[in-house]
Each structure stands twice: as C-alpha cells, then as structure tokens.
Amino acid sequence: MEHKESWQMFTNSTCSHSFCDNCTSKHVETKVQDKVKIVTCPAVKCNTTLDSGACRWMFSEDILICWDESLCKSMIEESQKLYCPFRDCSIMLVNDSGSEVTETKCPVCQRTFCAQCQVPWHPEFTCHEFLKLSGKKKRGIDLMVEKIGCSHMTCRCSYEFCYRCGSKWSSKHAACKYARC
C-alpha cells in the first residue's frame, strides 16, 4: 500500500495486476524455494501464470536456476521421469525415446542401474525374477542385500552398521543371527 513510482512496479503481461518490484521478487523467491512448479500472479484469487521472462532481472542466479529447473521439470510427463536409484546421486533422467528402457548408465555418477526396477543393475536376473526372489515385493536394495548376503554397511558419514538388525558394526558383530559377512 506504499506509494511507488511506475518504474518501481512490475506489471504481469498475462493479467492486469501490478506489484512493486520488491514484493514481486519476494513472492517468486518464496514460491521457488517451496518448489512450486508454476508461479502465479501474487494477486488474491488470480491464477494467471507470472511472466517469467519479464521479471528475470529481479532475481539472483541461484533463484533463476531453481526456477528454470522447476519450469523444465513441469514440462516433462511423469511417465517419462526416471531417477538414479543411488542415494548419493538421485538425478532425474528423462526417457523420451518412447521405448522401454532396462539397463541404463547414469550420466552423472556413471553407475549402471535397471530403469524398470529402479535399483542397481541386476544382470543375473530378469526384472520379474528379481522381484520374485524373496516371494514378496520388497524394495530392490533389500533384495540385492538378501541375494548378495552382505549386511556390513558403511554410511557416507563413515558410520558402520548391520543392514539386517540396524546395530553398530564391530568385529564381534559376525555373531549376529542375521549377518552373513
């Protein structure tokens, strides 16, 4: 409600509303940080999309990158989105080939995984066999541990623990009824 000069105002080209540059900037920054895919006009009950091209000059490079990524991701169909299953990567990939993809290599972490099961690559099994290994559908990583048998896990923070019982790993932990290595 402050008096502002016209040069201090942003007018959305897709509706008739205008707001000061500072308010518009804060509105967009908040929406982008909240991971809102489409930023709308700040006016109450106005669902018109904010013209991202017209107000780009208001934002830091970090906000622009986040906003651009959000806009790009919103244009990709959910059925085409695929995520690297490795927790230290988790990058989004896009299958826009129209064909079914199984074995694929993540372009970021360079590890191979199954695009169907969304787990590390399992060359010795078909996807169907892989899911049936334990007689019930478990998360793929659980099945891999079950098949390989190793329960000794090391977290990124270097904490060592037993995957099966969750307790801290030690040289005496081999006595765990669940441990296999």
Question: Are 101 and 127 in the same domain?
Answer: yes
- Select from 73, 11, 9, 14 the least CA-distant residue to 38: 73
pLDDT category, 8, cuts 50, 70, 90? confident
Q: How many domains is the chain built from?
A: 3
Domain boundary among 50, 74, 98: 74
pLDDT in tens, 87-142: 788 888 888 877 788 888 999 999 998 888 888 888 888 888 877 764 444 555 55
Residue with tokens 């541990």: 145
Residue 144 lies in a domain: no
Q: Is residue 123 part of a domain?
A: yes
Kindly report the pTM of this predicted structure.
Answer: 0.47
Q: Domain residues for 67? A: 6-74
Do 59 and 11 belong to one domain? yes
Residue 146's pLDDT band, with cuts at 50, 70 and 90, is low
pLDDT tens string 20-70: 888 888 888 888 888 777 788 888 888 888 877 777 888 888 888 888 887
58 and 26 housed in the same domain? yes
Contacts of 158 (CB under 8 A, 6+ apart): none
Where do runs of H (alpha helix) occur along the chain? 21-33, 61-74, 127-132, 140-148
CA distance 61 to 92: 21
Q: Based on the domain organization, do 88 and 61 belong to the same domain?
A: no
**Residues 160-165: what's their mean pLDDT?**
72
133 and 154 part of one domain: no
